[in-house]
Amino acid sequence: MVHLLDKDIERVLFSEEDLSRRVGEIAGEITRDYAGREPLLVSVLRGSFVFMADLVRKIELPCTVDFMAVSSYGVGTSSSGQVKIVKDLSENIEGRDLIVVEDILDSGNTLSYLLRLLEARHPASVRLCTLLDKPSRRVKPVELHYSGFSIPDYFVVGYGLDYAEKYRNLPYIGVLKPSVYGGE
Ligand code: IMP
Ligand code: MG
């Protein structure tokens, strides 16, 4: 860790090397599973932009990308069940094989809403790919096809994940010091 923001990090959970290796493995699974097809990868902004950029470069298939931004009306470190579409997709997804790319699956509130909305547009198939999963926090069940790492209930930042919009530019994933968000 040699980054100006390191001082706010309690410890590193996944190094750049860990992330690169695991992202390569997931890309390999997708490449095998979608052989002969042309998936459309949908990145849920903003948290998944770093994961998406690395993942897509390791998928050895013709594929297209699109972006969607949602905001869940959460305060601090948790989301609520209310989700607002801030930016919709540019592509027509009817008949397409979608892979929804997320940074982290937490309560499942954001994703269960989003998946319902996308399915109403009649894609051929929808699968969910998340870099991180916090199963102990799940409130809404969500079917997960590709998952990078399962983690305990820590609040993590880096590699796209933020706290108050900051720390997305850390190249690793770390646990934020509770003192940064007003904890003990
Ligand atoms: P959910 O609706 O509770 O599943 O929340 C999903 C969203 O909450 C993610 O896309 C993240 O933006 C955010 N989130 C959940 N846990 C964390 C975390 O540990 N660090 C940073 N963002 C998080
Ligand atoms: Mg966020």
Give residue-wise pLDDT tens across range 6-18.
999 999 999 999 9
Please report the atom of ligand 1 found closest to the CA of residue 108: 4
Of 36, 34, 57, 22, residue with least CA distance to 130: 22
**Does 105 sit in the ligand 1 pocket, CB within 6 Å?**
yes
| The pLDDT of residue 80 | 62
Beta bridge mates, 127: 99
Residue 161 beta carbon below 6 angstroms from any ligand 1 atom: yes
Q: From 79, 101, 173, 177, give the residue whose CB has the most ligand 1 atoms within 8 Å, as the site to mutate.
A: 79
Q: Which conformational region is residue 158 in: left (phi greater than 0), alpha (psi within -120 to 50 degrees), or beta?
A: left
DSSP state, residue 128: E
Alpha carbons 7 and 84: distance in angstroms, whole number = 33
Q: Are 67 and 43 in contact (CB under 8 A)?
A: yes
Whether omega before 46 lies within 30 degrees of 0, making that bond cis, reads yes
pLDDT above 80 (res 36): yes
Q: 91-120, pLDDT tens digit by residue?
A: 999 999 999 999 999 999 999 999 999 999
Q: Whose CA is nearest to atom 16 of ligand 1?
A: 106
110 lines ligand 1 (CB under 6 A): yes
> 45-70 pLDDT, tens per residue?
999 999 999 999 999 999 999 999 98
Question: What is the dotted CATH code of the domain comprising 4-179?
Answer: 3.40.50.2020
The confidence band for 150, taking pLDDT boundaries of 50, 70 and 90, is: very high
Question: What's the sign of the alpha-carbon dihedral 91, 32, 111, 74?
Answer: negative
List residues with catalytic annotation: 106
The domain locations on the chain are 4-179
Q: Which contiguous run of DSSP H or E holds residue 10?
A: strand 9-14
For the chain, the C-alpha Rg in angstroms (whole number) is: 16
For residue 106 and ligand 1, the question of a CB distance below 6 A is answered with yes
